[in-house]
Structure 1
Amino acid sequence: MTTTEAHPSDPARPDDHGAARARLLADPGLGGAARRTALARLTDGWLAGLHRDAGAPAGTALVAVGGYGRGELSPRSDLDVLLLHDGPIDPRLPERIWYPVWDSGAALDHAVRTLDEARAVAADDLKAQLGLLDARHIAGDAALTASLRSTLLADWRAGAAGRLPELQQLCTERAERHGELSFLLEPDLKEARGGLRDVVALKAIAATWLADAPRDGLEAAAARLADVRDALHLTTGRATERLSLQDQDQVAARLGVLDADTLLRQVYEAARTITYASDVTWRAVDRVLAARSNRGRRLSRIAFPFSGTGRGSGAVAKGAVERRPLAEGVVEQDGEAVLAQGARPAQDPVLPLRAAAAAAQAGLTVAYATVRRLAAETRPLPVPWPDEAREQLITLLGAGEACLPVWEALEAEGLITRLLPDWERVRCRPQRNAVHRWTVDRHLIETAVRAAAMTRRVARPDLLLVAALLHDIGKGWPGDHSEAGEVIVRDVAARMGFDKTDTDTLALLVRHHLTLVDTATRRDPDDPATVDAITKVVGTLPHLELLHALTEADATATGPAAWSSWRASLVGNLVARAAARLAGGVSHPPAGDPTAEQERLAVEAARTGGPALSLHAHTETGSTGTTGTEPMGVELTLAIPDRPGLLGTVAGVLALHRLTVRSASLRELDPIDADPVLLLSWTVAAEYGELPEAARLRADLRRALEGSLDVARKLAERDAAAPRRRGIATPPPVVSVAPGASSSATILEVRAHDAPGLLHRIGRALDAAGVRVRTAHVSTLGADAVDAFYVTDAEGLPLAADRAVQVARAVQEALG
């Protein structure tokens, strides 16, 4: 290979390097990593010749750094080169090397330094230090290059505790400037979050020996982004990193990809892999640095949390770390949700959803090793899903913003598409519309996040959340996505175990999720036919409330241009008119005739004047693996002569036993020839661990009703002793009076975030207000409680309007 003369005043003249480089880039059989490596080797030979021809003396070395140092040379990449020396050199030596490079038209980033100078620059400039970590020998004194590498790596490891937070801040600021590569229509392949810069950061973290990134798919993802960048350089002839819309078709064609959408989807998938690896790795770094500075733990125990056993997998040395229960089979450890030591994923198909829901509700994420184990060992859910699985999905979605990192962790290991096979068609699917800021799948989960803040507006928050998650699921199919989505959601809802009525509601919401905004913005709101069209679609007031909330959640999750105060007012006005047309009383399912067991308990309570109890553990077939024999809950029936504070007292005892109320009803029975008694029917489940013994629960109920057990004090003592756990911000509780809903009682509706002791606090507040609960309907839908209490005054009459408002306000304050 012929090289140019070294003197800076000589004109550039043709050499073999340019021709060889052109032939290499034009070779149709050479591409990807092989071409980048070949290009780096070709450049190495050229620069080595320039170093030799420049008469470089002993004690100098030409070193490649940065991307060139890693051997990742794209067609238009800069050449990052360092001339390293250990003593005085001819001042003209660097120019004799650099000028031929400049004359060739190559972009050159150069420096001339001694080893001490290189160390000093690295100490002052983090970006320079990162580039030097990839130092690779090209020519000259190899021992000098080796000394540079070993010295700088030692410095990097010694200063990791200070440098890694600085690097993390650098990555955060870059992400804020350039956005997330996974969702941008014109992404920066290098600088955006999830791009090639983050791959460099992960390698730098690994070089500290403190933590390492999850490796599955990471190398392939980085190679895919590099391939796209190469094709972009060759297509545009420029050193650009931004994959603009006008270039995407040509880049796709050069890579042999079907079309630009397929290209973007591949880019997004690669970026998500890198982003997830970054998130996992930075959490590991945070734990290690916290252990060093605050707790003094041995680093060897937590430095490499990706081996499949150890931290996060459930295999933890007894007493090594603090573990706090979150749910059955799930505990909190080091700020993450991990599996309890006794958890058996292979025997518990609901465990992934239970772990995810518990983590999100606690404001945590699921540990990497835990998600890996769940993906590897958990068996598919039976069809239809067990009730618990559906409830846990709704609880996960109801966590709002805290759902996002948990969802991403499940998706990274394929658990989402295993639960929802139709998700694969929308996963990473781009939306070529400037109004949309997200891919289809991320838009769906973002809509659910926004719907979680609106759960107090609807009587069925569970249906709102599921409809939000699935409303655009039809975009993965041909034709109108609303029509396709209706068909898909009927199948998905049936698999999830929703009954026909709820399935029909979900199908209506998905089919018409654009109807309100389209009608409000395109039709005359004063035309009676406009309101008639809406009422005909929704049919009922609860459906209208759900569709209104879904419409707003969908629009606000789309982007700033999709929702405005003007559109909100148009939709709100239309909804108000339709609601007035549909207005009617609040209805609840009739209690039905009492069973023989309930009548027996009522007679016993009336005869003895004390409580009559019946407890029955029940199972849910197929929900816990192949046997289907594990107890899933307790049905508790209590008959007792009415007395003040009854509801709150019984609910408090259940809370003491860590039982959560899934549903409950309270009504009055009139045994023959006896005074009326109250019948409380409960369905409860254990928060975690085993169900309490029936005899112990019965004894505590009797003691509480007799007054020898102070339930409120016991609950307060337990709460005070428990460590404070961070949780998510939830919408505030809403307590309202249902106007004109009953002629014999006042109905108070309570919508709140479910929490231990919630029903106990409601009961105490109603008792303190001096009202009598005649009938109650209690439901827990995911993480939301939706309750209705039929209350009267002491004489058994409905409350006066102002009194009803006062009671509602008192209950809301008690829950605040």
Structure 2
Amino acid sequence: MTERVEETAGPGGVPGPHTDPGATPAPAPEGGYPAARLRLLQDDAPTGPDRRAALARLTDDWLTALLAGAASASGVHGAALVAVGGYGRGELSPRSDLDLLLLHDGRADPGAVAALADRLWYPVWDLGLDLDHSVRTPAEARTAAREDLKVQLGLLDARHLAGDPELTAALRTAAYADWRESAPKRLPELHEMCQERAERQGELQYLLEPDLKESRGGLRDATALRAVAASWLADAPRGGLEAARTRLLDTRDALHLVTGRATDRLSLQEQPQVADALGLLDADTLLRQTYESARTISYAADVTWREVGRVLRARSVKPMLRGLLPGRGAAKGERSPLAEGVVELDGEAVLARTARPERDPVLVLRAAAAAAQAGLPLAVHAIRRCARAAADLPVPWPAEAREQLITLLGAGAHTVPVWESLEAEGVITQLLPDWERVRCRPQRNPVHTWTVDRHLVETAVRASALTRRVHRPDLLLIAALLHDIGKGWPGDHSVAGETIARDMATRLGFDARDVAVIATLVRHHLLLIETATRRDLDDPETVGAVADAVGSAGTLELLHALTEADALATGPAAWSAWRGGLVADLVKRVGAQLAGEAVPEGRPTDEPTAEQERLAIEAARTGGPVLALRTRDEAPVGEHATESGDGPEPVGVELLIAVPDQPGVLAAAAGVLALHRLTVRAADLGTVDPIGEGPVLLLSWRVAAEYGSLPQAVRLRADLVRALDGSLDIPARLAERERAYARRSRAVLAPPPRVTVAPGTSRTATVIEVRAQDAHGLLHRIGRALEEAGVSVRSAHISTLGSNAVDAFYVTDTKGAPLPADQSAALVRGVQSALE
């Protein structure tokens, strides 16, 4: 017997054109179907929908001929071959599977039906094509659809291929009738399926390697929207929806052709070739176009499911309660005032009957602010009416418009859906033309969770929770919205952003003094976090440089809040209690200098903590390394302890190492950690002389186990002793591991490492900055390069953000002086060479 399996729904939903049942199949092309298929896929002339339709027609003719021969051989005549899913709509991507249903009237002998199916399926399998197939009577197909939502969705795309057309027509009619009858019960199930898939696969519009089909905003969601439309209960906003679906299909076609595989995952290494196949400028252009398509589908889904919910709620309540809606408790049809010209109606913010957007250019911002403050969606028809009828705001904006924008940004998490609705309808770029350059712009740094535009909105959301800490919340919110606006332009985004922010703030109607503050915040939005994590805060030049850049205590206060909001909106790897403490320490010192007070000193490098002092004394007395592995609460870590976590803190274990000063300590310690699969998230290196008998190096590491349990401190110490005396060949061991790792993993596309001298950051040392992809043994290689250059590492500040390492090393010559220019240049070349 032929195996009976469920057919699956493909992308789409509304059935395509029927094959003419009376038509004679086209004669097989020269070389048969395989050769004709290959020629079609190698032909560059048909693209997109034309290629998919041509491939479907070619496959139709082949399967029609197969059924004719199989029916004759098996003696089964009451049967029909039906395409479902994407194939049912007449769309076939190069590596799409074939979704086929063999219908029969149930009168033929089961053995004959099985023989008929075998004569159909085996030629498909022989060509290496993937096949989703089933063999059913119409009654069995309807029963399967009632039991499995995916089967029911697939039947909505049923298209007759060959055989008895009346069987297909009857099934299609029944399938649509069943769907419309069961939709009130099945649509919630479909919605839940979409939500579960979104949680599993993520949002396509923000993923660096999105799944074009399964991610939220992908082809599956487009299928769901078509199914909702077929239910006659609700319909999606049609503006741009079909074009967005077509672009995703075109991208998937190119992905299939580039990879030669049936994949929907747009991986990083394949994006350049896919972009080239589509005739796009580069991979970023491809991602941006993909994100725009996904955003269109996601927005349509949000609006559609909201409408479905409203319809189903109205149908589900008892007659005497039919007027009641959940949420704010307003009666159905009753309007509750929210702001001038804005009311709540049926759970949405809509325009009042008396509203006149053609006379009130601020109305759209007022409606958006009112909706966000009330935690309500802003009705699509309200946005469209304002966008269509309202006059442009004067420049500079009137005070009310600026205040409504700030109110919208200050609404917290409710800001996001309202902003997205405005953006989907083109209002944001109408109000803020410079927004177009960051809209849907990808960020290839994996530390970032969002695209540039969504990150800006998320930063404003985070900043709204910090407005009680600052004297000018309005400036904080606007700076949060604009801090990365320069990423749409070439060059340093902070420098470009300063100019753009100055223009935009002027456009919004801020006075010259406020414009200058906003521009300063945008220009220096990375200053505090970079200085705190990469510079020696005990160096007077560090505090002085920050004070000069900030200029005033009020701006410093705003910059502190912006720094935290920006990091929190970036992703979990960008902020932690440790980083927050470093930034707060820097702000305290800079604040004192700006106030003309004595700068509070941190603990000098020659004044260790009690724990460090104990270790340093023991190291000085024994002449060997001493280690302590501790959690953040200073409790000793046992052999089987694992990383502890509280919130976004990326690391949970501190490793303290004290060792008498000698060449190669940094490289040896880093190599031992790499051998034990400990990931270094942050580190500091300093020198003390605890008993006056020579310097002792103190290394404070924040580490996490890549997997498994943490090693015992005694094992780490034993390997460090061997590394320092030369009996442990760390480079060889790391190279062996790297070769094994390379065999098991895919290559990571990453920009090349960058090694530079940071000028003007210290009078007493040369600061070497290293930015590179984090990798096994990276810090060990840097340490060896510094050792081979014959320089002394006075202090080091190691920071890992996601997969990116950003390290700073304060180095001197053998006499303790900064390096001359030629030696600095040679050192940079040496470290760069070690990392390439």
Q: Mark yes or no: TM-score above 0.5.
A: yes
Task: Give the corresponding residue for 2:45.
Answer: 29
Candidates 398, 409, 415, aligned match of 1:397: 409
Candidates 243, 249, 261, aligned match of 2:284: 261
- Equivalent pair of 1:426/1:476 in contact (CA under 8 Å): yes
Change (3 A) 1:478 1:338: same
Candidates 222, 238, 243, aligned match of 1:215: 238
The reply to whether residue 193 of structure 1 matches residue 216 of structure 2 is: yes
- Equivalent pair of 1:231/1:254 in contact (CA under 8 Å): yes
SS in 2 for 1:159: helix
Task: Give the corresponding residue for 1:53.
Answer: 69
Candidates 546, 557, 571, aligned match of 2:558: 546
**Amino acid corresponding to residue 399 of structure 1 in structure 2:** A
Task: Give the corresponding residue for 1:444.
Answer: 456
**Amino acid corresponding to residue 342 of structure 1 in structure 2:** T
Task: Give the corresponding residue for 1:141.
Answer: 164
Candidates 468, 472, 478, aligned match of 2:484: 472
Task: Give the corresponding residue for 2:89.
Answer: 70
Task: Give the corresponding residue for 2:827.
Answer: none
Alignment of 1:122-161 (within 5 A): 122-161=145-184
Once the two structures are superposed, residues 155-208 of structure 1 have per-residue CA deviations (whole angstroms, 9 ceiling, x without a partner) of 111111110000000000101111111111111000000000001000000010
The reply to whether residue 82 of structure 1 matches residue 101 of structure 2 is: yes
**Amino acid corresponding to residue 125 of structure 1 in structure 2:** D
Change (3 A) 1:124 1:320: closer
Q: For 1:528 and 1:320, how far apart are their aligned partners in 2? A: 66
Task: Give the corresponding residue for 2:575.
Answer: 563
**Amino acid corresponding to residue 158 of structure 1 in structure 2:** E
Give the drift of 1:297.
11
**Amino acid corresponding to residue 221 of structure 1 in structure 2:** A
Task: Give the corresponding residue for 1:487.
Answer: 499
Candidates 450, 455, 460, aligned match of 2:467: 455
Name structure 1 gaps, 5 residues minimum: 1-13, 303-318, 586-816
Task: Give the corresponding residue for 1:16.
Answer: 32
Task: Give the corresponding residue for 2:54.
Answer: 38
Once the two structures are superposed, residues 366-408 of structure 1 have per-residue CA deviations (whole angstroms, 9 ceiling, x without a partner) of 1111111111111110011000000000000001110011001
Q: For 1:297 and 1:262, how far apart are their aligned partners in 2? A: 55
Q: For 2:565 and 2:116, how far apart are their aligned partners in 1? A: 65
SS in 2 for 1:489: helix
Q: For 2:96 and 2:552, how far apart are their aligned partners in 1? A: 62
Equivalences, count: 556
Change (3 A) 1:417 1:51: same
SS in 1 for 2:317: helix
- Equivalent pair of 1:291/1:297 in contact (CA under 8 Å): no
SS in 2 for 1:92: helix
Once the two structures are superposed, residues 664-697 of structure 1 have per-residue CA deviations (whole angstroms, 9 ceiling, x without a partner) of xxxxxxxxxxxxxxxxxxxxxxxxxxxxxxxxxx
Give the drift of 1:320.
7.1
Once the two structures are superposed, residues 116-175 of structure 1 have per-residue CA deviations (whole angstroms, 9 ceiling, x without a partner) of 111111111111111111111001111110111111111111111110000000000101
Task: Give the corresponding residue for 1:534.
Answer: 546
Once the two structures are superposed, residues 32-62 of structure 1 have per-residue CA deviations (whole angstroms, 9 ceiling, x without a partner) of 1111111111111111111110026332110
SS in 2 for 1:256: coil
Once the two structures are superposed, residues 309-362 of structure 1 have per-residue CA deviations (whole angstroms, 9 ceiling, x without a partner) of xxxxxxxxxx97111000000000111110000101111100110000000000
Candidates 264, 278, 281, aligned match of 1:241: 264
Candidates 171, 176, 180, aligned match of 2:203: 180
Task: Give the corresponding residue for 1:632.
Answer: none
Give the drift of 1:568.
1.3
Task: Give the corresponding residue for 2:313.
Answer: 290
The reply to whether residue 576 of structure 1 matches residue 588 of structure 2 is: yes
Name structure 2 gaps, 5 residues minimum: 1-29, 326-330, 598-836
Task: Give the corresponding residue for 2:763.
Answer: none
Provide TM-score, normalisation by structure 2.
Answer: 0.65
Provide TM-score, normalisation by structure 1.
Answer: 0.67
- Equivalent pair of 2:332/2:346 in contact (CA under 8 Å): no
- Equivalent pair of 1:371/1:413 in contact (CA under 8 Å): yes
Task: Give the corresponding residue for 1:413.
Answer: 425
**Amino acid corresponding to residue 118 of structure 2 in structure 1:** E
Give the drift of 1:105.
1.0
Once the two structures are superposed, residues 53-108 of structure 1 have per-residue CA deviations (whole angstroms, 9 ceiling, x without a partner) of 00263321100011111112100001000001111431311111111111111111
- Equivalent pair of 2:443/2:450 in contact (CA under 8 Å): yes
Change (3 A) 1:297 1:51: farther
The reply to whether residue 113 of structure 1 matches residue 132 of structure 2 is: no
Candidates 192, 196, 206, aligned match of 2:229: 206
SS in 1 for 2:310: helix
- Equivalent pair of 2:71/2:77 in contact (CA under 8 Å): no
SS in 2 for 1:561: coil
**Amino acid corresponding to residue 20 of structure 1 in structure 2:** A
Candidates 533, 538, 560, aligned match of 1:521: 533
Q: For 1:576 and 1:69, how far apart are their aligned partners in 2? A: 67
Change (3 A) 1:561 1:70: same
Task: Give the corresponding residue for 2:353.
Answer: 341
Q: For 2:371 and 2:418, how far apart are their aligned partners in 1? A: 7
Q: For 2:107 and 2:535, how far apart are their aligned partners in 1? A: 82
**Amino acid corresponding to residue 46 of structure 1 in structure 2:** W
Superposition RMSD in Å: 2.0
Candidates 509, 514, 518, aligned match of 1:497: 509
Give the drift of 1:580.
3.3
**Amino acid corresponding to residue 296 of structure 2 in structure 1:** T
Alignment of 1:733-744 (within 5 A): none
- Equivalent pair of 2:413/2:461 in contact (CA under 8 Å): yes
Task: Give the corresponding residue for 2:746.
Answer: none
Q: For 1:95 and 1:334, how far apart are their aligned partners in 2? A: 55
Q: For 2:512 and 2:318, how far apart are their aligned partners in 1? A: 55
- Equivalent pair of 1:157/1:208 in contact (CA under 8 Å): yes
Q: For 1:194 and 1:272, how far apart are their aligned partners in 2? A: 6
**Amino acid corresponding to residue 19 of structure 1 in structure 2:** A
- Equivalent pair of 1:291/1:298 in contact (CA under 8 Å): no
Give the drift of 1:581.
3.5
Give the drift of 1:541.
2.0
Q: For 1:345 and 1:388, how far apart are their aligned partners in 2? A: 15
Q: For 2:197 and 2:476, how far apart are their aligned partners in 1? A: 36
Q: For 1:265 and 1:513, how far apart are their aligned partners in 2? A: 25
**Amino acid corresponding to residue 110 of structure 1 in structure 2:** H
Alignment of 1:702-713 (within 5 A): none
Once the two structures are superposed, residues 515-560 of structure 1 have per-residue CA deviations (whole angstroms, 9 ceiling, x without a partner) of 0011111211122332222222222222111101100111111111
SS in 2 for 1:365: coil
Give the drift of 1:16.
0.3
- Equivalent pair of 1:181/1:189 in contact (CA under 8 Å): yes
The reply to whether residue 371 of structure 1 matches residue 383 of structure 2 is: yes
Greater alpha carbon shift after TM alignment, 535-544 vs 202-211 = 535-544
Change (3 A) 1:298 1:191: farther
- Equivalent pair of 1:474/1:484 in contact (CA under 8 Å): yes
